[in-house]
Amino acid sequence: MLQVLTIDEDFKLESGQKLSGVQIAYHTYGALNETKSNVVWICHALTASSDVADWWSGLVGKGKCFDPEQHFIVCANVLGSCYGTTGPLSENSDGVTYYHDFPDITVRDMVHAHIILRKHLGVENIQVITGGSIGSFQALEWSIMEADRIKNLIVIASGAKSTAWNIGLNEAQRMAIRGDKSFYERHPDGGKEGMKAARAVALLSYRNAAAYNQTQPHESEDTVDGLKAASYQRYQGEKLANRFNAYSYYSLTRSFDSHHVGRGRGGLEKALGQIQAKTLIIAIDTDILFPGQDQLIMKDNIPGSELKWIHSDFGHDGFLLEYEALTEAINGFLE
């Protein structure tokens, strides 16, 4: 069930700006045990919600890797999103919708908000923290910010910072959104056509050439109007537009770009060296968004960490699709 926590005091952002009346939407599954030692905190990816049992159904549920009969599972929606947590379509203290005036949110800001939620829920220590992609950005940050509270860290298809490659892809998406004049009209549906194009760009990095050639083949009978890959791109753009808004999408890609655990901590190596959690890094062999060198930086600098490769035909999206391989890797690590 969706729940919402309202933060009474002003919430200070890393930029120095403040948000008033911040709301954090979250889901919990299961219950805390007597020793409060069964907490699994799952951090969601870019456009997901806090309903992790829905979007990660292969890993969360009865008899699965993260079982609510054994674990107290928490997933909270991030700042800037549109699934109940304060974002660009929320109202400011004057009752005016933010739209473009919503301040920049960093990954650290997201984690700071969720630390407030942790305290509200009476959670003292987190037995397992994990997530894929930007979800692991949050998990990494949290494992540095509250190093003594995180027992096991599982990083999946991610990196210790946003690379130039990541940022370039995100800026291409934002250019598509800015190219849609309706984005500047301060209307909830503003920028939707631009966001559809942005999503199509993103999908190319979430998959890869082999995945597209396998699932959307160009048959000799196809005409210009019947190309499967083209219709697939349009379909995915429409699908996102039906559940998301361009202002949150724009904000969250900027949050993605902010990720650098070494900022203000003396660099990546020093920051990663502060992690005390037992750490598993899961890399996907066909991931072009976070290729192997991104995983190796973490492996080389997080004390005692373990790197596990899994195969997927579907690139970065393997963290959403390869349930069996992920379950095997995670269970083996935790056992």
Q: Which residues are catalytic?
A: 133, 287, 316
pTM: 0.96
| Domain boundary, last residue among 223, 255, 287 | 255
Same domain, 194 and 243: yes
Q: List the one residue out of 82, 111, 109 whose CA is nearest residue 97.
A: 82
CATH number assigned to the domain comprising residue 62: 3.40.50.1820
Same domain, 158 and 184: no
Residue 9: count of CB within 10 angstroms of its CB: 10
- Report the largest interatomic distance among the alpha carbons of the chain, rounded to a whole angstrom: 64
| Domain boundary, last residue among 255, 288, 311 | 255
Q: Note down the domain range covering 156.
A: 3-163+257-334
Cβ atoms of 13 and 109 closer than 8 Å: yes
Three-state DSSP class for residue 3: strand
Same domain, 249 and 143: no
CATH number assigned to the domain comprising residue 214: 1.10.1740.110
Same domain, 129 and 210: no
Same domain, 181 and 223: yes
Same domain, 231 and 269: no
Three-state DSSP class for residue 156: strand
Sequential DSSP letters for 79-147: TT-SSSSS-TTSB-TTS-B-GGGSPP--HHHHHHHHHHHHHHTT---EEEEEEETHHHHHHHHHHHHTG
Same domain, 132 and 220: no
Same domain, 38 and 129: yes
The per-residue pLDDT string of the chain (335 residues; one tens digit each, 9 = 90 and over) reads: 899 999 999 999 999 999 999 999 999 999 999 999 999 999 999 999 999 999 999 999 999 999 999 999 999 999 999 999 999 999 999 999 999 999 999 999 999 999 999 999 999 999 999 999 999 999 999 999 999 999 999 999 999 999 999 999 999 999 999 999 999 999 999 999 999 999 999 999 999 998 898 898 887 676 677 788 999 999 999 999 999 999 999 999 999 999 999 999 999 999 999 999 999 999 999 999 999 999 999 999 999 999 999 999 999 999 999 999 999 999 999 99
- For residue 222, what pLDDT is reported? 67
Give the type of residue at 132: G
Same domain, 238 and 278: no
Same domain, 117 and 29: yes
Looking at the structure of the chain, the number of domains it has is 2
Q: Supply φ then ψ for residue 333, to 5 degrees.
A: -70, -45
| Domain boundary, last residue among 240, 255, 270 | 255
Same domain, 158 and 298: yes
Residue 249: count of CB within 10 angstroms of its CB: 28
Same domain, 193 and 286: no
- Cα dihedral 130→133→134→138 (10° resolution): 20
